[in-house]
Structure 1
């Protein structure tokens, strides 16, 4: 088990006149591969627990932050704190580590990366490697390597040396931190879904001081979304809210080679994407749109014909059914080491969540 540590503090992230929120920066830099979300949990504990009315943890590793605990209706905001990772499966006689993937990796992105391995004694650094292009045949150069054809090099000589550092089942993430590159546009290895987790938790922190809040609002930082929305399943069951909004990332399709006829038209900087379709309760959808338009919060519309690949799919069908909505933060280069987000979209998502919660009246439900 990796030690529960907060991410190492880095200098404040500024770009021109824009400064990223410290809570978001800490969350983005926390290493939290699926099933080993310790560092992200510690960041949430630090920034959120002192700022809300009630706070709890569960056996899945979820974190729950509640304001106005006696309010009505009951509302759940959910964003997942796990990220893509690697899990060590085999160590050969020369001390090279082999692994499987946690979550949906693009295999063309894995090799040649610096990685941080989370162990019981702290972080161990390594590099992913494969046979150099100079040593490949023309046919081999055209192939995408299979996972078992890539390894992690610790710079050791023997299996014994490697085993003194890492164990089978230890997990790793790319060694790549958050950085602002232009104004409010930043890159990080895990905007998916640290951006969404920040949005739901920050919304609850802001709601703490709102006197006109009628609803009971809980933000859940969920785990294991990348391998099947597992944390959201138990979170939705234990909270059993009247309304829920999941916040994740969605594809910004304004970069080259994205056909809007197939994927829709979504712009980075265009505001949160509001989903519509069978996974979305129509009452909550219309309520979200009214809040956005009343408060002049920019938004974009997405149609999804099936259960979405987000926590919303699990929340909707928990207990006897939960009126569920979905907001997506536009993101370029999803599931790569350098995902790109405009932090103004994150801020607008926070604002929309706050206004939605404040707009609810006692007794409101999502029955249609």
Structure 2
């Protein structure tokens, strides 16, 4: 990863982009990708699409989602404490002692998830963190004081945490799920442009909003683009750390390459081509199975517009939906390589139907 890529990665990941409030992150992403595309467009809710060869009839999507999990202010007590509700799959168990940024019309307000000291908790009847008892303290002593700082019901907040390196091999931070995907597809666009690679089809580089609350951004943009092929990148669970059940979750190991998923939404002919490309280019990969839905934007694209040939290329991620989401740098590079090589191999008009 060169200096330009690293600078973008840090700026993009350290920025907050809560579900429904992604615009600041989308601006950072678009600013980086714009030199490598011919044009772009956005939709009503903030999905950004960079386009190469917009005049082409055959359309290929590479996609990631831009939003991160977060919290909403839900209730403010008379004493000035704030209770929350989830915006996406936020984890109540990791909240106590975490710092937060609350976004208001007056700017960012700092806060902390408070928690009683160990000295005063009854170990025999100790409460675990739940949505009913976790709370945020912003240093106020009344509801009025909270509101005077610009905090009100509906304000969104994220954990206050930034990207670090771990033992030179790993990237660690919040919101790798899935702005690391946005980084990877942007890098694909950069390599295509800097390598002067000409594609025989229209390439739509999609950074979609609102995945964390039900694939909503992908659903909207798939109907607008009407692609012929969709390659989705997201994260999946790395399962070698303690407390993961490999019998239930399969074996996905950080550093062993991108994970290719089998499942009804994944088109087998497209998946076979991806595997052939990985093997031909010595790109390591792993396999996973989805019993029904993949739980990613792949499902939204696959089942849109009378069916779109879709595949999922995932990045193994440790500790998903925490502030220490952890990904191996080699896996990031190999996801980029695999998507890049796939785009060089795809043909305009390529027909993936099972029966012709």
TM-score by length of 2: 0.94
- Gaps in structure 2 of 5+ consecutive residues: none
Query: Which of 142, 146, 168 lines up with 2:153 in the alignment?
Result: 168
Query: Which of 115, 123, 129 lines up with 1:145 in the alignment?
Result: 129
Corresponding position of 2:69: 84
Say what the alpha-carbon RMSD is for the aligned residues. 1.8
Corresponding position of 2:190: 205
**Distance in 2 between residues matched to 1:280 and 1:107, nearest whole Å:** 32
**Distance in 2 between residues matched to 1:53 and 1:20, nearest whole Å:** 20
Corresponding position of 1:114: 99
Contact 2:263 2:294 (8 Å CA) reproduced:
no
Corresponding position of 1:285: 271
The alpha carbon displacement at 1:138 in A equals 2.7
SS, match of residue 65 in structure 1: strand
Contact 2:71 2:90 (8 Å CA) reproduced:
no
The alpha carbon displacement at 1:366 in A equals 2.1
Query: Which of 37, 52, 58 lines up with 1:52 in the alignment?
Result: 37
**Distance in 2 between residues matched to 1:145 and 1:131, nearest whole Å:** 11
Alpha-carbon spacing, 1:149–1:259, altered in 2? closer, same or farther (3 Å): closer
**Distance in 2 between residues matched to 1:63 and 1:140, nearest whole Å:** 50
The alpha carbon displacement at 1:349 in A equals 0.7
Contact 1:77 1:218 (8 Å CA) reproduced:
yes
Corresponding position of 1:238: 224
Corresponding position of 1:220: 206
Corresponding position of 1:35: 20
Query: Which of 250, 257, 264 lines up with 2:236 in the alignment?
Result: 250
SS, match of residue 132 in structure 2: helix
Contact 1:67 1:208 (8 Å CA) reproduced:
no
Corresponding position of 1:156: 140
The alpha carbon displacement at 1:297 in A equals 1.2
**Distance in 1 between residues matched to 2:125 and 2:304, nearest whole Å:** 47
Query: Which of 33, 53, 56 lines up with 1:71 in the alignment?
Result: 56
TM-score by length of 1: 0.91
For residues 148-199 of structure 1, the C-alpha deviation after alignment (integer angstroms, 9 at most, x for no partner) is: 3111111112211110221221111110100012113111011111111211
The alpha carbon displacement at 1:239 in A equals 0.9
Corresponding position of 1:180: 165
Task: State yes or no: 1:298 paired with 2:320.
Answer: no
Contact 2:93 2:130 (8 Å CA) reproduced:
no
Aligned residues: 352
Contact 1:204 1:218 (8 Å CA) reproduced:
no
The alpha carbon displacement at 1:313 in A equals 1.2
Task: State yes or no: 1:355 paired with 2:341.
Answer: yes
- Gaps in structure 1 of 5+ consecutive residues: 1-12
Corresponding position of 2:115: 130
